[in-house]
Structure 1
């Protein structure tokens, strides 16, 4: 499963080609026209996910090209809110508990739930879903390596050979439970599920390449939602989405519009919600021992770049001041600050550039400034190329800004634009020096997950020129960090005394080594219609991460919203 994938994130935050007004209105207008029997305009929400080009029919939640259904049609056992610390919200599960040594997780299932075709939901469906990952490893994107047993119709037990506390959030909140009576007869790797059957608050309505709808499930165990129809148009990109906001023809999109800070003033029907979670970085092919080449393999160069960035200027020029501070520990300062080690200095990345500090770091590492103002060492000029995807306009602007800032610190940078596929291929093969990207969070508001995704070495990465690297495409490898990450798996998430020394070890190492150079924490901003619907997440009540593409969060938002005046 893709957790907050960079592919999806970038597709929503870049401005794409303009679409003609007639095409835009045809795609978005008349929100109730194709909503099926429940297509009343007042209860129809038009959500734009950033889809550019026609939709391709695929409602298989385990397919990488699935277009919808995660959370809305297919539900997990619980919902965990990444936007703030809170208890897991019961969905198909109602209670859970660990045994004393963290090797067994017992879950009580909700009684009286039926699939949308009327068949009863039971523990056998849960067992079938998890066994499917063992039988189809290609679907096992979250590393399931346990067993699950049905005790009776409403109780299951997950078991591991060793303590697996950190696997708990994945198991209870990241797996879409599917019906055994249907899925036992399909190929889950290839079937596109034209008529998906789930337990969620919505069912599939109409499908066309230009738009499809989800309809409220009147037999939903939690009661039919007040938003009766959700319509998902396909436009031509985020510029079209911004135009649709101006025209008032969509109700929710996540992505930039001009002058986003004054959305409500410019468009009184709309307001915004922002959460900062995706940490923007200059990722480096950092490990010379695994075949990386270039000046960026020197930690001193990476730390010098860290101090060369003026983040206040960068935020204003590239991100409309929607980004937030970032810690070099990569613990989120908003929700994970308690885990930042006292040994980390500075606790947050400097707001202003410090060319003197950058130069001091380089000179201590043997670099000398040339007549052109650029540092060099052993006859090699300190010149680096940063990979970026064509069309990522905010990141392209960011790189233009960082290039000018780095030059003042004696570091030469140049951007190389390529397609998404080419950019991904370079990262996975190690054929890059720097790449601008964002690191994503895990299933719970805890820094362990980011560390395990991006810093765990061993077989989690690969030498340059061999098999594609995993999430750790920076090819970072540190035995002490690896051991600390593995040790964290055996400790409950609430064991602060036991976990903090392990976080200290990890954070001390990654702050010094800096294979991912912190830029800023990206602000994910949604624009939504507050005149038509009430119940959107607010700063005071961020009950879900406010992004239309974050499937589980969006599902919770759809269920919470109510038509204004209802």
Structure 2
């Protein structure tokens, strides 16, 4: 089979957001690689760093780099290139449509970074970070060839990485093209060329697959659950379902009536029949979520999934009584185009409006994510469905962001969540040197979130992707190093 023929995929967003994006390209394209990736259990695993260790108080970390690796332009990968990437990170923070790059968040208290030889890098921190390797996983330790950086730390052109593919074309909002790096240090890709088209509308993406205009659908919400069910079992197509770090949350404005009362938040959570949501709107693709932290995290502890509509309605009646209550339910367009959020919102609307003895009215409004986030931060909303991924293998930033009183997401989403004990736990975790104690803190925060509801977890996503049987090797995976290297023309 001629593997030089181009294979086309479609996604809802740019797979190469370009020069102003912190990473230029999605990790899944295989253009760049990190120092540390993660294994199937969510724990740190070697990538461009083969091993690492730290001193007793976790303030000095030593990384041993993989030898014999070159960037796609032929430049050797070594300690100097790693140091140059830290120089670049210091010019940030840099925004991204994937995960932001902020050296102060990823490497808190970084005092110095230096090499002791060509393949050993030492990081020194002002305070111990026993889970630094978890924070560095994937997007936390992306490495690029230094010559591709502009003076301000953005990209001066196409990115240059150590991965199995290189970017050869990129037209923002339309498509990007990657080609095989035949000098890749690891197992090279099979197919020579991939084109990733940007098709925001789910129905149009699906039509493109059915018409043979593309051979596969990729990225978050690649194919709607109903579409996947339609072609699953058809020999002309392959549907792959895999684990996902994405959690679907029902965010609520806890700074205003009625969700400033925990009984309202608990009551709504009890009303939700999560399995019905998964079966009816996601065609069974998903897992009922009882807790805040996603199930793919190494620190995940299962929390009970409770469905008690009678108790839920009773709690809500205690809060709102018979007064007229108008609730605004926002749907971010970027997620509503990927997932069945309209149908899910209408289901939740029906639950709230049909509680006996209450007078609740829910209006649903879809808007672009930018304006939606502005309304949330201003407190001009009551409910909002939104996905959340795992920025790194260390969930500290998620707990701090959503649950800490001054947490960035708590503020920007208008959650209005406050719990003195949670603040104490987050502050302890920020300076804790004992990995075992950190695990205990993360477990307690999960337990608190399951009863205090800073937001309401609905379901843990399962990644669903689809491809034509004309190609083979395309599987749904959580971000890792495999990417598209095994994808090729069948036959």
- Label 1:137 to 1:249 Cα distance change in 2 as closer, same or farther (>3 A): closer
Partner of 1:180: 146
- The answer to whether the Cα contact below 8 Å between 2:42 and 2:298 also exists between their aligned partners in 1 is no
Name 1:487's counterpart in structure 2: 428
Gaps of 5+ in 1: 1-31, 33-37, 287-291, 371-375, 463-468, 538-543, 546-551
Instruction: Provide closer, same or farther for how the CA distance between residues 361 and 68 of structure 1 changes in structure 2, counting only shifts above 3 A.
Output: closer
In structure 2, list runs of 5 or more residues that go unmatched: 96-100
TM-superposed deviation, 1:57: 7.6
Using the TM superposition, give the Cα deviation of residue 123 of structure 1 relative to its aligned residue in structure 2, in angstroms: 0.7
Rounded Cα–Cα distance in structure 2 between residues aligned with 1:50 and 1:76: 25
Name 1:387's counterpart in structure 2: 330
Q: SS at 2:102's partner residue?
A: coil
1:376-525 matches, within 5 Å, as 376=323, 381-390=324-333, 392=336, 394-409=340-355, 410=358, 411-444=360-393, 447-458=395-406, 460=408, 469-470=411-412, 473-489=414-430, 495=436, 498-499=437-438, 501-525=440-464
Greater strand fraction, Structure 1 or Structure 2: 2
Q: CA deviation digits over 1:164-197, x for unaligned, max 9?
A: 12332232532321223443x53224x4x43332
Distance (whole Å) between structure 2 residues aligned to residue 407 and residue 186 of structure 1: 56
Aligned to 1:194: 157
Change (3 A) 1:349 1:46: farther
Deviates more, 1:482-491 or 1:126-135: 482-491
Change (3 A) 1:221 1:424: same
What is the CA distance between 1:335 and its match in structure 2?
5.7
- What's the CA shift string for 1:141-181, capped at 9, x where partnerless? 36133132211110011221212123322325323212234
Shift of 1:530: 4.9
Q: Which residue of 2 aligns with 1:4?
A: none
Aligned CA distance change for structure 1 residues 154 and 68 (closer, same or farther; 3 Å): same
Q: Secondary structure at the match of 2:483?
A: helix
Superposition deviation, residue 403 in structure 1: 1.0
Closer, same or farther: CA 513–223 of 1 in aligned 2, 3 Å: closer
Q: CA separation in 1, counterparts of 2:430 and 2:315?
A: 35
Pair 1:489–1:530, CA change in 2 (3 A): farther
Contact 1:79 1:89 in 2 (8 A): yes
After superposition, residues 92-103 of structure 1 pair within 5 angstroms as 92-103=48-59
Once the two structures are TM-superposed, the CA of residue 39 in structure 1 deviates from its matched residue by 7.1
Assess if the C-alpha contact under 8 Å between 1:276 and 1:324 holds in 2: no
For 2:264, the equivalent position in structure 1 comes to 301
Q: 2-side partners of 1:236 and 1:60: how far apart?
A: 20
Q: Structure 1 segments of 4 or more deviating over 4 A?
A: 67-71, 207-210, 333-338, 446-449, 489-494
Give 1:404 deviation, angstroms.
0.9
Moved more, 128-137 or 114-123: 128-137
Alpha-carbon distance in 2 for matches of 1:120, 1:338 = 39
Tell me, yes or no, if the aligned pair for 1:59 and 1:69 is still in contact at 8 Å.
Answer: no
3-state SS, counterpart of residue 465 of structure 2: strand
Q: In 2, are the aligned partners of 1:59 and 1:68 still within 8 Å (CA)?
A: no
Number of aligned positions between the proteins: 470
Aligned residue number for residue 154 of structure 1: 119
Instruction: Measure how far apart 1:58 and its partner are.
Output: 2.2
Q: Kindly report which structure 2 residues correspond to 1:273-292, keeping only aligned pairs within 5 A, or say none.
A: 273-286=241-254, 292=255
- The change in CA–CA distance for 1:448 and 1:109 in structure 2 (over 3 A counts) is same
8 Å contact 2:36–2:133 — kept in the other structure?
A: no
User: Contact conserved, 1:149 with 1:157, CA < 8 A, in 2?
Assistant: yes
CA distance in 1, matches of 2:315, 2:239: 45
CA pair 195-349 structure 1, distance change in 2 beyond 3 A: same
Q: Give deviations 1:467-524, integer Å, cap 9, x for gaps.
A: xx35x642323232122234335568963xx345423532343233212122222333
Over residues 397-418 of structure 1, what are the superposed CA-to-partner deviations in whole Å (9 max), with x where a residue is unaligned?
1111111122233444221232
Say yes or no: does 1:361 pair with 2:315: yes
Are 2:24 and 1:58 aligned? Answer: no
Corresponding position: 1:110 with 2:110: no
Contact in 1 for aligned 2:292/2:449 (Cα 8 Å): no
The TM-score, its normalising length taken from structure 2, stands at: 0.84
State the 1:88 CA deviation.
3.6
Q: Are the counterparts in 1 of residues 3 and 488 from structure 2 also a CA contact under 8 Å?
A: no
Instruction: Determine if the alignment matches structure 1 residue 241 to structure 2 residue 205.
Output: yes
Alpha-carbon deviation of 1:232?
1.2
- Residues 265 and 57 of structure 1: CA distance in aligned 2, closer, same or farther (over 3 Å): closer
The residue number in structure 2 matching 1:255 is 223
Matched, 1:224 2:188: yes
Using the alignment, how far apart are the partners of 2:485 and 2:69 within structure 1? 17
Distance 1:520 1:268, change over 3 A: same
SS for the counterpart of 2:151 is coil
Flag the 1:51–1:522 CA change in 2: closer, same or farther, 3 A. Answer: same
Label 1:366 to 1:249 Cα distance change in 2 as closer, same or farther (>3 A).
Answer: closer
**What secondary structure sits across from 2:485 in the alignment?**
helix
* Partner residue in 1 for 2:465: 526
Secondary structure at the counterpart of residue 128 of structure 2:
coil
Task: Calculate the TM-score normalised by the size of structure 1.
Answer: 0.74
Equivalent of 1:536 in 466, 475, 480? 475
**Distance in 2 of aligned mates of 1:456 and 1:202:** 40
Distance 2:56 2:29 in 1: 31
- The answer as to whether partners of 2:252 and 2:455 remain within 8 angstroms in 1 is yes
